[in-house]
Amino acid sequence: MKRLLRGVGALAFLLLGLGCGGGSMDEPAGPAVDLASRQPAAHIVCDAEDPCPKGYLCLGHIRCAKVCKTDMDCPAGQLCTGSLGGKNFCQ
């Protein structure tokens, strides 16, 4: 009888340990945010209370885009082809 109780106790202890501490400690915190990118990770909410940095336009309250005059003003892989309110922006 004692052997059975010890076995059940050990099994309960093992299951409790797996249930409480079974998570991974190496989980990523989330995607990196890149303001110059058009990737979903770069999407931030911008509005009058939380405007884009100087030199950037807020596009549809979704993301900030860099203001440009030529393609040379844009980050690598982007062109100065967008236009909003008389200002060009990188996309």
Q: Is residue 85 part of a domain?
A: yes
Q: Is residue 21 part of a domain?
A: no
Q: How many residues does the chain have?
A: 91
**In total, how many domains does the chain have?**
1
- Structure pTM? 0.49
Cβ atoms of 43 and 35 within 8 Å: the answer is no
pLDDT digits (tens, 9 = 90+) for 12-29: 655 555 555 555 445 444
Q: Is residue 63 part of a domain?
A: yes
pLDDT digits (tens, 9 = 90+) for 40-91: 445 567 888 889 999 999 988 888 999 999 999 999 999 999 898 899 999 9
58 beta partners: 64
Cβ atoms of 9 and 16 within 8 Å: the answer is no
Q: Is residue 70 part of a domain?
A: yes
Residue 23: what residue type?
Answer: G
Structural domain that includes position 84: 40-89
Cβ atoms of 41 and 31 within 8 Å: the answer is yes
